[in-house]
Structure 1
Amino acid sequence: MPEPLREVQRRFLAAIVDGDADAGALIVDDARVGAAKRLAIYRNNYRASLTGVLADHYERLHAWLGDEQFDNVACAYVAAHPSTTRNLRHYGGGFAAFLAEHFPDDGELAELARLDWALRAAFDAPDVPALDAVRVTGLGETWLDQPLRLHPSASLLSARFNVAALWRALDDGEEPPEPVELTEPIALLVWRNGLQPHFRSLSEIEARALARLEAGATFTGLSAHVIEAVGEAAAMEELAGWLGQWLADGVLAEHRHY
């Protein structure tokens, strides 16, 4: 009785991913090519497809490492982390953690990967309405006491290296600076405005403010926290500047849209 299709598929996948020799019986074996060579071709195509996906997802990291080094690292990741998703857009989310584990003395690699991934995720994020000046005006003062969140396209990253300068130079096709470990980590905000992903560096106090909003704080609650931290006059100036930029950039969303 023929094997069920699902079992044949399982065995064939095992042969491609894990090198299961028993699955050779599923492949035509003849003098022209032979089962072993056919399987090797399939394995090579599988790995090449996944390394190509990683190169697409991590364009600036690819540019930083160059073709040969990136391919070596990508092949090692593919061998350790076979695809488990039907949508290759989601493949490679663990690449930054893999780099951090295997290249602890080259911290810029993992950070470039995190920034590449966050920008790609921002591009693909859901089209939740952003909180803007028009919406705030329509809500009146009631929005001040409503829980806020970062827009789904927005995320906060922590960087220990000059990864922002590295990424921008690579994006512009310029000679990148040498990687430098910073005296203090900095925060980066990644978000999408319209169809275009962006990122920028944040001051420590703005990063803390956005983290509080990400946790569901109201603007009233955030204002009280900032006033306590820096005093009323400085807080009013900071809050006004932040709010204007956040609304213009589309960084915030109402909690009810989640």
Structure 2
Amino acid sequence: MLTVFTPTYNRAKHLHLCYQSLVSQEFKDFEWLIIDDGSTDNTKEIVETFHLDNKINIRYIYQENAGKQAAWNKAVLEASGTYFIGVDSDDKLIDNSLILFFEKYIPKIDNQDNILGIRALSKKNSTNQADSKFSIDKDNYIASWFEEFSYPQSGERIDIFKTNILKKFLYPITSDIKFIPEIWFYSSIANKYKFLYVNKYLGLFFDEDVNNRLSRSSLEFHAKGHLISRTAMLKNIPLKYFIKNPVALIKTVVRWLQCSYFLIKNK
């Protein structure tokens, strides 16, 4: 069984995109686990209309606003599926992609204890193409995420994780830390586990929201979370991969210094 996790916060008008892409899947052995992170719009009512359709298995959990990573942690702990996918509220899965992955690729990793999951391609809505060029000529390529990190055009991908491994790597959130960049997770887990890289499309992502862009104000507001992430990168990523991607090393050090400064300034 698969858990498809969607975090949402005041995104009621977008949820239908994700919903329709799940309804259209031929593969039906999944639950859609929605974690509502304190929405004040009509998200709950929209989800209730989906329930009434009775087309897919839906679980809806409401929590007081605690941030996306808190929603992720809760979803991982609540998940019923052996495998786990995160799909944002305004993103979607490619039509009938799940059956392809679960018939052809999941069996390749089921009994591989050192493989965390599958990293598949995700289309960008504005170009209808993948922006990740890593391993594009190496289908069914088993590699560490560190290799992808060292590649200049790594880009967006979508993952199918083994849920039992995710439970060992929950985000270190606290009441005053609502955001930690996802790179904390990848840099933390890559020392122990690898991915199967598959050059088939699984997801479609939308990258038009200006709120998704990293600004000075968001960096300062979430300085603790960013510092945790950058510290993990400097600690976990072997130097040889930073040497292959020196721009990433410079950015990581600069962000670390910026966040340290913001935390000292705002004490």
Q: Same fold (TM over 0.5)?
A: no
Q: With CA pairs under 8 Å and 6+ residues apart, which has the higher RCO, 1 or 2?
A: 2
Return the structure number with greater helix share.
Answer: 1
Q: Which TM-score applies when normalising by structure 2? A: 0.27
Which of these two proteins has the greater Rg computed from alpha carbons?
1
Q: Which TM-score applies when normalising by structure 1? A: 0.28
Return the structure number with greater strand share.
Answer: 2
